[in-house]
């Protein structure tokens, strides 16, 4: 018995609507906490908004002109780019190496996996306090470097403008080490063992197996880790706020710290303009990384 045209139309409509019904909660959250704030930030960036008096005046692109004329903004911009460039290779390669190590069939490998994941679940306040102690002038790291002759005298890495940004970058890399390691580990365990067995028969060394089999197969994970690192690196805040607070002399002031300071000074319009610049920077950085990784995947397949 054939179904009536109206019933067929109703079934087709239900098939079309069902996926959207499942997506509705996520779309509601996305619109509420992402799309609307971006629209509001764009609106505020075009206004001279006085938050206390709750008054505003349309001034067009004047906030952006003031922003780009601010020397501190450009310093924060450069610091943000440098921070991402420092953290990116550490987050790509260190977790990859650790994942390869804990993927081996050795005793107590589960304990090592848990140990490497501990920084991820450690509260950032506790982690920052621990690293401040390590980085202090009387800390273990300074004494160790003096003992092996790298430093002539003890120093505080967080109060030195030359080393402060790199020191904070190491905290960020340490915090995400176990998280990214799990991503690589899941990818590693999906690689067929036959590939390694065939390579062993052909006389490939461990290094050759890693460079010719493991790394090419890990490209999808490398892409994801790279994008997450770029986005998280551009919006880094807690590590800096808890260790250097943007100092010394602005050496660790990033765009998020700059935006935070503007909001604290009730300069909402300039902060909104800087936030849009940061958003654009995150989008551009992610697109560039995806393009580079896509090209690498094509080269490996060729």
Domain covering 70-126+163-301 assigned CATH 3.40.630.40 in the classification = no
Cα distance between residue 216 and residue 209, in whole Å: 10
Q: Model confidence over 248-259: pLDDT tens digits? A: 989 999 999 999
pTM of the model: 0.86
Q: Give SS3 for 212.
A: helix
Q: Whole-angstrom Cα distance, residue 155 to residue 194?
A: 52
Quick: pLDDT tens for 106-161. 777 778 888 888 999 999 999 999 999 999 999 999 999 999 988 889 999 999 99
Q: Give the percent of the chain with pLDDT over 70.
A: 93
Alpha carbons 249 and 140: distance in angstroms, whole number: 25
Residue 290: both structure tokens together: 């995806």
| Cα dihedral 252, 255, 260, 264 in deg (nearest 10) | 90
Domains in the chain: boundaries: 1-39, 70-126+163-301
Query: How big is the chain, counted in residues?
Result: 302
**Helix ranges (DSSP H) in the chain:** 5-30, 36-45, 62-68, 71-102, 109-121, 124-135, 140-147, 164-188, 193-201, 206-209, 215-217, 219-234, 238-243, 255-264, 268-301
**Distance in angstroms (rounded) separating the CA atoms of residues 178 and 65:** 42
Residue 38 has pLDDT above 70, yes or no: yes
- Cα–Cα nearest to 266, from 43, 40, 44: 44
């Amino acid at each position: 018995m054939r179904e009536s045209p109206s019933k067929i139309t109703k079934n087709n409509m239900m098939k079309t609507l069902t996926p959207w019904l499942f997506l509705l909660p996520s779309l509601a959250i996305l619109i509420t906490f992402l799309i609307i704030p971006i629209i509001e930030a764009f609106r505020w960036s075009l206004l001279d908004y006085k938050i206390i008096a709750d008054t505003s005046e349309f001034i067009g692109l004047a906030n952006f002109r003031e922003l780009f004329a601010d020397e501190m903004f450009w310093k924060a911009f450069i610091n943000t780019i440098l921070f991402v460039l420092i953290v990116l290779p550490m987050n790509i390669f260190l977790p990859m190496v650790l994942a390869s190590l804990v993927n081996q069939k050795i005793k107590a490998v589960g304990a090592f996996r848990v140990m490497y994941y501990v920084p991820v679940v450690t509260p950032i306040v506790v982690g920052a306090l621990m690293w401040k102690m390590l980085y202090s002038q009387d800390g273990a790291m300074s004494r160790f470097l003096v003992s092996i002759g790298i430093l002539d005298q003890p120093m505080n890495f967080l109060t030195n403008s030359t080393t402060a940004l790199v020191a904070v970058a190491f905290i960020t890399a340490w915090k995400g080490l176990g998280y990214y390691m799990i991503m690589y580990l899941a990818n590693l365990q999906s690689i067929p063992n036959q590939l390694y067995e065939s390579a062993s028969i052909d006389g490939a060394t461990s290094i050759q197996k890693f460079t010719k089999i493991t790394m090419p197969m890990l490209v999808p994970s490398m892409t994801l880790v790279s994008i997450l690192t770029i986005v998280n690196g551009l919006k880094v805040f807690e590590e800096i706020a808890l260790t250097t607070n943007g100092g010394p002399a602005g050496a660790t002031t990033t765009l998020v710290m700059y935006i935070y300071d503007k909001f604290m000074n009730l300069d909402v319009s300039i902060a909104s303009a800087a936030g849009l610049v940061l958003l654009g920077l995150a989008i551009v950085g992610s697109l560039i990384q995806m393009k580079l990784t896509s090209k690498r995947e094509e080269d490996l397949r060729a």
